[in-house]
Protein backbone atom coordinates (compact mmCIF):
# COMPACT_ATOMS: atom_id res chain seq x y z
CA UNK A 1 0.00 0.00 0.00
CA UNK A 2 1.45 3.34 -1.04
CA UNK A 3 0.74 6.60 0.69
CA UNK A 4 0.59 10.03 -0.81
CA UNK A 5 3.05 12.64 0.32
CA UNK A 6 2.08 13.92 3.75
CA UNK A 7 0.48 17.34 3.97
CA UNK A 8 2.25 19.34 6.64
CA UNK A 9 1.35 22.74 8.05
CA UNK A 10 3.94 25.04 9.57
CA UNK A 11 3.06 27.52 12.32
CA UNK A 12 5.64 30.16 13.13
CA UNK A 13 5.74 32.65 15.99
CA UNK A 14 6.09 36.32 15.19
CA UNK A 15 8.48 37.02 18.09
CA UNK A 16 12.19 37.15 17.25
CA UNK A 17 11.60 37.15 13.47
CA UNK A 18 15.31 37.00 12.57
CA UNK A 19 15.54 33.70 14.42
CA UNK A 20 12.14 32.28 13.48
CA UNK A 21 12.77 33.19 9.83
CA UNK A 22 15.88 31.02 9.93
CA UNK A 23 13.96 28.20 11.58
CA UNK A 24 11.28 28.51 8.90
CA UNK A 25 13.80 28.34 6.07
CA UNK A 26 15.30 25.20 7.59
CA UNK A 27 11.92 23.54 8.09
CA UNK A 28 10.73 24.34 4.58
CA UNK A 29 13.95 23.01 3.07
CA UNK A 30 13.69 19.77 5.06
CA UNK A 31 10.05 19.26 4.11
CA UNK A 32 10.80 19.95 0.43
CA UNK A 33 13.71 17.48 0.49
CA UNK A 34 11.51 14.95 2.31
CA UNK A 35 8.86 15.04 -0.42
CA UNK A 36 6.35 17.15 1.48
CA UNK A 37 6.61 20.69 0.11
CA UNK A 38 4.52 23.22 2.00
CA UNK A 39 2.01 25.33 0.11
CA UNK A 40 1.83 29.02 0.98
CA UNK A 41 -1.65 28.53 2.46
CA UNK A 42 -0.24 25.93 4.86
CA UNK A 43 2.07 28.51 6.51
CA UNK A 44 0.39 30.08 9.51
CA UNK A 45 1.65 33.06 11.50
CA UNK A 46 1.22 32.90 15.27
CA UNK A 47 1.43 35.94 17.53
CA UNK A 48 3.88 34.13 19.83
CA UNK A 49 4.97 30.76 21.18
CA UNK A 50 2.11 30.65 23.68
CA UNK A 51 -0.44 30.51 20.84
CA UNK A 52 1.26 27.66 18.94
CA UNK A 53 -0.61 24.77 20.64
CA UNK A 54 -4.08 26.16 19.94
CA UNK A 55 -3.31 26.96 16.32
CA UNK A 56 -1.64 23.59 15.72
CA UNK A 57 -4.57 21.72 17.25
CA UNK A 58 -7.07 23.74 15.18
CA UNK A 59 -5.12 22.95 12.01
CA UNK A 60 -5.13 19.22 12.72
CA UNK A 61 -8.84 19.26 13.49
CA UNK A 62 -9.58 20.59 9.99
CA UNK A 63 -8.68 17.11 8.75
CA UNK A 64 -6.37 18.53 6.09
CA UNK A 65 -3.01 17.81 7.71
CA UNK A 66 -0.92 14.77 8.54
CA UNK A 67 1.32 16.82 10.83
CA UNK A 68 2.18 20.30 12.04
CA UNK A 69 5.63 21.80 12.60
CA UNK A 70 5.63 24.57 15.23
CA UNK A 71 8.45 27.11 15.26
CA UNK A 72 9.26 29.83 17.73
CA UNK A 73 11.90 31.36 19.93
CA UNK A 74 11.75 32.32 23.59
CA UNK A 75 14.86 34.05 24.96
CA UNK A 76 15.36 34.41 28.70
CA UNK A 77 14.97 37.86 30.09
CA UNK A 78 15.02 39.31 33.58
CA UNK A 79 11.68 37.86 34.73
CA UNK A 80 10.01 34.45 35.04
CA UNK A 81 8.07 35.04 31.81
CA UNK A 82 10.55 32.82 29.92
CA UNK A 83 9.80 29.81 32.13
CA UNK A 84 6.03 30.17 31.88
CA UNK A 85 5.97 30.60 28.10
CA UNK A 86 8.49 27.81 27.46
CA UNK A 87 6.69 25.30 29.67
CA UNK A 88 3.24 26.27 28.40
CA UNK A 89 4.28 25.93 24.76
CA UNK A 90 5.99 22.56 25.24
CA UNK A 91 3.22 21.01 27.33
CA UNK A 92 0.52 22.52 25.12
CA UNK A 93 2.08 21.11 21.94
CA UNK A 94 2.48 17.68 23.53
CA UNK A 95 -1.15 17.69 24.68
CA UNK A 96 -2.37 18.83 21.25
CA UNK A 97 -0.45 16.00 19.57
CA UNK A 98 -1.74 13.40 22.00
CA UNK A 99 -5.35 14.58 21.84
CA UNK A 100 -5.39 14.64 18.04
CA UNK A 101 -3.10 11.59 17.57
CA UNK A 102 -1.18 13.66 15.03
CA UNK A 103 2.48 14.67 14.99
CA UNK A 104 2.85 18.23 16.22
CA UNK A 105 6.55 18.91 16.56
CA UNK A 106 8.35 21.31 18.88
CA UNK A 107 10.67 23.62 16.97
CA UNK A 108 10.65 26.27 19.66
CA UNK A 109 14.04 27.49 20.78
CA UNK A 110 14.32 28.22 24.49
CA UNK A 111 17.66 29.93 24.87
CA UNK A 112 19.45 32.02 27.44
CA UNK A 113 20.63 34.66 24.96
CA UNK A 114 20.36 35.92 21.38
CA UNK A 115 23.60 34.27 20.28
CA UNK A 116 22.36 30.79 21.24
CA UNK A 117 19.18 31.39 19.24
CA UNK A 118 21.05 32.62 16.17
CA UNK A 119 23.38 29.60 16.17
CA UNK A 120 20.39 27.23 16.22
CA UNK A 121 18.59 29.02 13.37
CA UNK A 122 21.45 29.30 10.87
CA UNK A 123 21.25 27.69 7.45
CA UNK A 124 23.24 24.59 8.37
CA UNK A 125 22.75 21.02 9.60
CA UNK A 126 22.17 22.17 13.21
CA UNK A 127 19.10 24.24 12.27
CA UNK A 128 16.38 23.33 14.77
CA UNK A 129 13.59 24.13 12.31
CA UNK A 130 15.06 21.48 10.02
CA UNK A 131 15.15 19.04 12.95
CA UNK A 132 11.50 19.71 13.87
CA UNK A 133 10.44 19.13 10.25
CA UNK A 134 12.43 15.87 10.07
CA UNK A 135 10.82 14.72 13.34
CA UNK A 136 7.37 15.48 11.94
CA UNK A 137 8.00 13.52 8.74
CA UNK A 138 9.45 10.62 10.73
CA UNK A 139 6.48 10.51 13.10
CA UNK A 140 4.00 10.66 10.20
CA UNK A 141 5.76 7.72 8.55
CA UNK A 142 5.85 5.72 11.80
CA UNK A 143 2.14 6.33 12.46
CA UNK A 144 1.29 5.26 8.93
CA UNK A 145 3.18 1.97 9.50
CA UNK A 146 1.46 1.40 12.86
CA UNK A 147 -1.99 2.14 11.48
CA UNK A 148 -1.44 0.01 8.37
CA UNK A 149 -1.16 -3.15 10.45
CA UNK A 150 -3.87 -2.27 12.97
Half-sphere exposure of 135 (CA within 13 A, CB side): 18
41: DSSP letter: G
Catalytic residue set: 81
Q: How many angstroms separate the CA atoms of 39 and 49, rounded?
A: 22
Tell me whether residue 113 is annotated as binding.
no
CA distance 59 to 10: 10
Does 56 count as an annotated binding residue? no
Of the chain, the end-to-end C-alpha distance in Å amounts to 14
54 beta partners: none
Tell whether residue 73 is among the known ligand binding residues: yes
The verdict on whether residue 50 carries a ligand-binding annotation is yes
The helix/strand/coil state of 34 is coil
Is residue 12 part of an annotated ligand binding site? no
Q: Find out whether 15 is annotated in a ligand binding site.
A: yes
CA 142, distance to chain mean position in Å, is 17
The reply to whether 44 sits in an annotated binding site is no
Known binding residue 5? Answer is: no
Residues contributing to the annotated binding site for (2S)-2-hydroxy-3-oxobutyl phosphate: 78-79, 120
Residues contributing to the annotated binding site: 15, 49-51, 73-75, 78-79, 106, 120
Residues contributing to the annotated binding site for 5-amino-6-(D-ribitylamino)uracil: 15, 49-51, 73-75, 106
Amino acid sequence: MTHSAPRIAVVVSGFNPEVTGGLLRGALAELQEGGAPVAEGDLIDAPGAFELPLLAQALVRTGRYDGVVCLGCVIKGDTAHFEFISLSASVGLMQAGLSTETPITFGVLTTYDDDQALVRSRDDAANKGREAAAACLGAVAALRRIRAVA
